[in-house]
Amino acid sequence: MNSNPNTFPLRPLLVGIAAIALTTLVFDRARAGGGNFYPPVSDPVVVEECGGCHMAFPAALLPARSWQAMMADLGNHFGEDASLDADTNARITRYLTDNAGDRGGQRYAGKLFRGLSASQAPLRITELPKWVKEHRELTPREWAAPEVKTKANCVACHRDAERGFFEDD
Ligand code: HEC
Ligand code: HEC
């Protein structure tokens, strides 16, 4: 067996290199195509409460004012009652606004809010002018496909959406 003591530091070094390579890969992918990585929700309470009926949408996909408006009217959430107790609501509102696309998540949102005036607080990502523009080539038939059903079903077309990647695939 190789008993040369000089080979001992090799293993940690290799592990270090592998870790760097993986990180670079993830960031390269995130940047590929320009701004289509939106960090997945990292707060387990938000995942739990906002990921049951649909994917827990990344906070950077909407501006803070939209999250505020949505969280203030959860009893009337797209035809569903999604209301929460006051503490949970406050915690989720804080997470979503802190990481919103015009706050902490700004560097990820890129041009996503282009065409949106400061007075508009859309409740749907799928109504952002930039989102509509990015999806303009999809046909009514594609939207109506049984595996898609609704525009909000990002995962149907963006297979890596749960991991934050929304590329054309
Ligand atoms: C009881 C089920 C339910 C829960 C819980 C729920 N939602 Fe929703 N949500 C819906 C439905 C239904 C829609 C409309 C989906 C559609 O148009 O297909 C929706 C739509 C949305 C949209 C708009 C998607 C689009 O079209 O761009 C956002 C953003 C959203 N929800 C965020 C949240 C957040 C944040 C929470 C947690 C506080 C949450 N939801 C919890 C049912 C729920
Ligand atoms: C029916 C399939 C479909 C659904 C559902 C869908 N998308 Fe897309 N999305 C696409 C396609 C296809 C493109 C690429 C358009 C192009 O490159 O011309 C795209 C592009 C994008 C882009 C721009 C990516 C880039 O390369 O710059 C983003 C961001 C995005 N989608 C987010 C979302 C989000 C968020 C949802 C859910 C709220 C969603 N999409 C739902 C098909 C879909």
Contacts of 142 (CB under 8 A, 6+ apart): 148
Structure confidence by residue, pLDDT tens digits, 31-82: 444 458 999 999 999 999 999 999 999 999 999 999 999 999 999 999 999 9
Distance CA 32, CA 36 (A): 8
Q: What is the pLDDT of residue 36?
A: 86
Of 155, 166, 167, best ligand 2 pocket probe by most atoms within 8 Å of the beta carbon:
166
Contact 167, 36 (CB under 8 A): yes
Q: Which of 43, 61, 74, 77 to mutate to test the pocket of ligand 1 (most atoms within 8 A of CB)?
A: 77
**Domain layout of the chain by residue ranges:** 44-163
- Inform me whether the pLDDT recorded for 106 exceeds 70: yes
31 Cα–ligand 1 center, Å: 27
If you ran DSSP here, which 8-state letter would residue 80 be given? B
Report the alpha-carbon distance of residue 68 to residue 93 in Å, rounded. Answer: 7
For residue 83, the tally of other CB atoms under 10 A from its CB is 12
Q: Looking at residue 67, what DSSP letter applies?
A: H
Q: CB of 46 within 8 A of CB of 95?
A: yes
- pLDDT computed for residue 9 by the predictor: 54
Provide the whole-model pTM: 0.86
Segment 131-162, tens digit of pLDDT: 999 999 999 999 999 999 999 999 999 999 99
Q: What is the pLDDT of residues 109-118, one digit of tens each?
A: 999 999 999 9
Give the residue from 63, 77, 150 showing the smallest Cα distance to 115: 63
